[in-house]
Amino acid sequence: MLPVRPTLRVLREDLGIPLPSVQYSLNDLDHPLLVKARAQFIDDGAAHERINAIDDQVLLKVKVQRWRGAVWVDEPQPWLVAAGTRKEGSPDDFYAGLERQATAARARFNAANLAALRGHTYVGDLLPTEDDHTRYQLEQGLRFRSEMVRTVQDLTAGSLRDGHEHAADYPTFRLGILTRADEGYETYVAVRITGTVPDELVAVILRIVPGCDPETWWPEASLPARQLMPAEQAWSTFMDPKAAAQLLDCADEDAAR
């Protein structure tokens, strides 16, 4: 199961946490309730206590210190959809308040819609919205790009060292990078992709190969010493020798740490 993630509404209204840059994952926010929720739901087989007063959705309790929360699980992503604190002498006042809120929401929904809801509560307004899913997708896209940058740099540096292709496997494709350096000349670079990959991702990969002009990549029908297989596609260009030397120096420094 993925880490418990707060909705944008919970951050703004319940926890009072300013929305961080999209470069920062909401899955990693350091708040006592979020830390507890992530730890509590990390084990798929762990038992959880249901909020019995809520009958239109299954909401689960999470408690730490004075904080109380409600988690809704949309496999494989659990969401913190409501949060608050208990008051002295009233251990479950947050959950009682959540029930009152959900009962009132049901009454408003039934008054505005011909098809009345069954049961006693309605928490649909607390569940993740399109904005929550859009934020998650943006975070995932940025994280994937950052990981791809590191992978491309590692593959390129590895091939610069030994002249052989270095490759990495992804769920739907295999990425390989081959470099050939001749002393006094530019360094030849080839990028090979085997499998299914969208054109936009190919463009991203070619843009992030270090030391190469993104406008100079040329599609290839073959790689050094062999023709391409039917499921393969490849591009080549030349790398600036200074950039190649700098990439190797940075890789050596990282390895020495």
What's the angle, vertex CA 210, arms to CA 145 and CA 169, rounded to 5? 50
Mean pLDDT of 36-48: 89
Q: To the nearest whole number, what is the mean pLDDT of the chain?
A: 91
Greater confidence (182 vs 241) lies with 241
Q: Nearest 10 degrees: CA dihedral of 93, 94, 96, 102?
A: 160
Minimum mean pLDDT range among 28-42, 59-73, 129-143, 235-249 = 235-249
pLDDT, position 184: 57
DSSP H helices, the chain, are: 8-9, 32-40, 93-112, 130-162, 199-208, 241-256
The better pLDDT of the pair 46, 146 is held by: 146
pLDDT in tens, 203-254: 999 999 999 999 999 999 888 877 888 889 999 999 988 888 888 887 666 6
Instruction: Note the pLDDT of residue 32.
Output: 96
Peptide bond into 171 cis (omega under 30): no
Q: How far is CA 197 from CA 156, 193, 214, 244, in A?
A: 20, 8, 18, 27
Please state the rounded mean pLDDT for residues 139-168. Answer: 93
